Chains A and B, each alone.
Chain A
Amino acid sequence: GESVGLHLPTLSVQEGDNSIINCAYSNSASDYFIWYKQESGKGPQFIIDIRSNMDKRQGQRVTVLLNKTVKHLSLQIAATQPGDSAVYFCAENPDMNTGFQKLVFGTGTRLLVSP
């Protein structure tokens, strides 16, 4: 089936550093992408999304970059804080022609922030 992302890596950073989490997607037809944060024992939490007609979108301390040429998505977190420690998943919606979203999740990246 379709797959998004690579094996589960771990990114370790110091508090205050900028973090970059990467994701590769496989379906060139995907038109909509989302980053989720999942803390231990909780469900995934929406962080930021981007449509394929954009290559960059900024939120509060987060930026998502989309490179459709190489099918790559990244999440940048500025001034990383211990509370940012979690597993981060990218997700894509390969079919925008339905009245709902059929999100396919990447394998995830664990972010560890040390004080």
Chain B
Amino acid sequence: DTEVTQTPKHLVMGMTNKKSLKCEQHMGHRAMYWYKQKAKKPPELMFVYSYEKLSINESVPSRFSPECPNSSLLNLHLHALQPEDSALYLCASSYDRIGGYTFGSGTRLTVV
């Protein structure tokens, strides 16, 4: 298995809703990442988990809450989002310091 699987592929949520994005990989990768990508822009790092511990939080608002239940799973819990949070949310994983990331196909999030 050489894939990163993200669910759901599309999500529409209201500003008062609570939802979660899920990411799964079975490549034995030790690091997992959340990126946010706005239209026609590059991906921007949000969080990094290394060995299931949060290693980097790029000053992300608390309405985004990451969770790493085990080495294969990564969640992003969403609460009280704003319309400007609408974007493509990408999950990625990597084994080590080199080799790049394997990205999932993303969740297209729309906040209404």
A→B interface (CB under 8 Å)? 5, 8, 32, 34, 36, 41-46, 49, 51, 89, 91, 93, 96, 98-108
Q: How far is the CA of A105 from the CA of B103 in the complex (A)?
A: 14
- The answer on a CB contact under 8 Å between A43 and B98 is no
Selected from B4, B43, B56, the residue in CB contact (under 8 A) with A105 is B43
A101 contacts which chain B residues (CB < 8 A)? 31, 94, 97-101
Q: How far is the CA of A98 from the CA of B41 in the complex (A)?
A: 26
- Known contacts A46-B100, A46-B102; A100 and B43 CB within 8 A of each other: no
Q: List residues of B (34-60) whose CB comes within 8 Å of A's CBs.
A: 40-45, 48, 50-51, 55-56
| Total contacting residues, chain B, CB less than 8 A | 29
A106 contacts which chain B residues (CB < 8 A)? 42
- The answer on a CB contact under 8 Å between B31 and A99 is yes
Interface pairs (23), CB distance under 8 Å:
A5-B42, A34-B100, A43-B105, A44-B101, A44-B103, A46-B100, A46-B102, A89-B42, A93-B97, A98-B50, A98-B55, A98-B97, A99-B50, A100-B31, A100-B48, A100-B96, A101-B100, A101-B101, A102-B48, A103-B100, A106-B42, A108-B40, A108-B42
Q: How far is the CA of A74 from the CA of B106 in the complex (A)?
A: 27
**Does residue B74 face the partner (Cβ distance < 8 Å to A)?**
no
Closest to A48 in B: B100
**Does residue B26 face the partner (Cβ distance < 8 Å to A)?**
no
Closest to B102 in A: A46
Closest to A51 in B: B98
In the complex, how many angstroms separate the beta carbon of A32 from the nearest chain B beta carbon? 6
Selected from B42, B97, B101, the residue in CB contact (under 8 A) with A107 is B42
- The answer on a CB contact under 8 Å between B42 and A105 is yes
- The answer on a CB contact under 8 Å between A41 and B105 is yes
A99 contacts which chain B residues (CB < 8 A)? 30-31, 50-51, 96-97
**Does residue B21 face the partner (Cβ distance < 8 Å to A)?**
no
Q: How far is the CA of A106 from the CA of B48 in the complex (A)?
A: 19
Q: How far is the CA of A44 from the CA of B94 in the complex (A)?
A: 14
